Structure 1
């Protein structure tokens, strides 16, 4: 093999060249190759032949280069396209996609331009709001929306000592906002004599929106006409007629929320307003649609509940024990 053939072979096998160039700077490579070629080889070596954070993606690219017999020219095309994409992850995504494809440098470039266009599309963030609830009755709220609108909401609260109050002030314009209480408020029978007009001993009341309010706080709030207070027997729970239908009626749903203002599964704080109505003894196993056999339960725990008490236990199941709904797990 003469020098020209050796030169051509190396251009067609860039991985061999990069193995030789590993650890050498562009200046060091200039001693044996022209300046422009040295800079290009040093850059490619750093990407494909030296340790990187995205090692799996790098290994996938190397495999694609070998299988598709990509030349040095092709890798230079791929790298020039990668520089048009922001972010290391997207750069490696582009490299992976192109290294896996067969084709000449011009064909790879044509394909790469389409991929660059797709990767440069702005990330779309779903518009909406989510709330994270903590056990100490401290909540956090995340709101997604157009940047300009969020910036307007953020500006008056970013330096505030109490951001929640500052946001409330900004949204309401400083005017008092009368809250209409729609969730069901649970009053245990043994505490009913304390809940009069917001005076006397304080009683902490659970509401089906997941918020704990004192009797004084509830007394100061306006109640929606369709909702109000409900009493729960501390042992028997809510009492209602047995229904012949599987689905609970509105009254039974309300009573279920009253009894369990949050999902009764261990350490689950999903408000009853966002829960499903769960049959403690499953309908398909003969359980009635009665208030005593119903409880609130979030969609996730409703799905993992061991409905059949005679089946091998997996995650445990909700049962009524001494009038209260609890998760019970029995070892096999």
Structure 2
């Protein structure tokens, strides 16, 4: 038998090596290796009150031909288990597991997680110094930390240093609003309203709404007659305005269209070029196709009726030779027919959104 063949045979006899080392008074090995062998032998062969576990573990290790290296790993990973029964159960399971030392190591990691699950982390922060660099870590409720990370992830250092100064103590004040002014604010005319505050300052109605809703997240204010209220004058709908429109409907407002709101455009019910305001009360979400045909002859148009988005059927014409008919369109030589009833597709004032045919 060659030396390599002998080495291969010895590698499969880890238990035999431990038994011989445990009985020997000295070991003809380098000091560090001798110390490892003796500690492993003591772990597996020292007298114990769990002798049945010990016998089964040794038999399984011999059956699986575990090497001395594998047995040393099992002994080392088991030292962190303080309860004797669990420690021997851990050893027995790993000795009964076939595989290489690396495979046994992965199995040991899984077993340790089951026996000693990690403790629940406490809220707080931690600083780690790295010479000229420092790492900060924070622990808190998952939902709140997700919001923080969403705001900070693009440039965490700028987020921390640029806007994280301690907030001053909040002073609560009352705002005095007369009922007529309150109604004007609800209809979107708050810029012209000046309100007195009990701390001596004055504030516009529009600013009051912005301050009141600033910490409320996604908040949609809907007037019972005019629909969603906004306080800005721009041509393009802002992200906030789009969110308000999405609160009215999750899809294109055109009847029977199923395009999601995320793929729709903010359409002015009264065209911007004709003085239509970029307020949610004057807008509806339409997919690009229905936005392009809205108002064309024979296609109908979108409108807001009593605060709800609706589709108005087109006014149809037919030929008529009666020149005395007051409904006759002399430019086209046709007679107008009364349009059909509107089809409501927007949010109802009370109850669920009306069904779309």
TM-score, with length taken from structure 2: 0.31
Larger Rg: 2
Q: RCO greater where, 1 or 2, for CA within 8 Å and sep 6 or more?
A: 1
